[in-house]
Amino acid sequence: MDQYLRQRERLLTSSRPLPDFEAVGSNGPWLHCADGRRIFDGSSGLLCVNVGQGRPAVLSRIERQFSRYSFGGAAVVQLELMDRLCQAVGRPEDSVALTTCGTLGVEVTVGLARNIVRARDGKRRGDILSSNLSYHGNSMFTLGVVGNQIRNSRPEDRYGLGPAFPAPYPPTHGHAHEGRRCDASCAGEVAQAIDSRGAENVAAVLIEPINGTTGGAFVSPDGYLRRVAEICRERNVLVMGRPLDPGRESPESLARLDYFAQRPMADAVPIRHSTSVGKPTRA
């Protein structure tokens, strides 16, 4: 390990503030270092929280599949995951697209939405509208469409993309309601955003049932999501739900995901890779 540490500054894709350490083993949330220390893993994110390090059940499933084949083959495993996901969100007849990361999951969902409205409604453009306090991924498109100030702070780098309406939370919209909180009527901002561009130019509204990364677990007001869905249906615009992390969210968050997933609330419901217990999969 020491021979490589001298070249550490050349590695541009892993710039964590913690010093490097050599882990020789793991168990649950703990990393075991070569020098005998035990470190509680609070940085590996969703998979460590949901699954833990070195979980025997996950290892046995990986070994069983790896011995059969590593690449290609029939989609039996994917079909099982598809069926279980559809059952979990109460939409057993829906279709599923599996991808390898969260950002790609959103990109694929956007592509599907655009193809649907072009084939179904004859729309020539496929604008995707989102709020000014949201997070949908780290690609050029997903960063640009929300105008994420931390990850993409320069407007000139967004290639004309940007947020279309304010999020119904105090940091961005609280000033609009003197003496009261945001409520379902804030969905009117979504209607204005669609109408200002022309519904014939808008493919979908990409929305977060619960704001996490950029805001700190803001929950949309009661009735807001349903009103957004109604507004979009009236204008032949699809509704895409921002991905959530089953197993990590609070019971209230899971209930809101379940609520949002039911028709006629959302046309597409991306679900994060934490559902795959350690494998890089996203639906």
- Reply yes or no on whether the pLDDT at 122 is more than 70: yes
- Reply yes or no on whether the pLDDT at 283 is more than 60: no
Q: What is the pTM of this model?
A: 0.73
Q: According to the model, what pLDDT value does residue 234 have?
A: 94
Q: According to the model, what pLDDT value does residue 277 have?
A: 41
Question: Buried (b) or exposed (e) across 201-227, using 16+ Cβ within 10 A?
Answer: ebbbbbbbbbbbebbeebbbbeebbbb
Q: According to the model, what pLDDT value does residue 40 have?
A: 84
Name the more confident of 118 and 17: 118
- Reply yes or no on whether the pLDDT at 145 is more than 90: no
The CA distance from 207 to 181, in Å, is 19
Pick among 3.40.50.970, 3.90.1150.10, 3.40.640.10, 3.40.50.2300: CATH of 101-276: 3.40.640.10
Distances (CA, A) of 252 to 187, 239, 270, 274: 21, 21, 18, 18
What mean pLDDT comes out for the span 83-102?
Answer: 83
The CA distance from 35 to 237, in Å, is 58
- Reply yes or no on whether the pLDDT at 123 is more than 50: yes
> Domain segments of the chain: what residues?
2-60, 101-276
Least confident of 131-140, 142-151, 255-264: 255-264
Q: According to the model, what pLDDT value does residue 199 have?
A: 95
Name the more confident of 275 and 112: 112
- Reply yes or no on whether the pLDDT at 191 is more than 90: yes
Name the more confident of 185 and 180: 185
Q: How confident is the model at residue 280 (pLDDT cuts 50, 70, 90)?
A: very low
Q: According to the model, what pLDDT value does residue 279 have?
A: 41
- Reply yes or no on whether the pLDDT at 5 is more than 90: no
Q: According to the model, what pLDDT value does residue 196 have?
A: 96
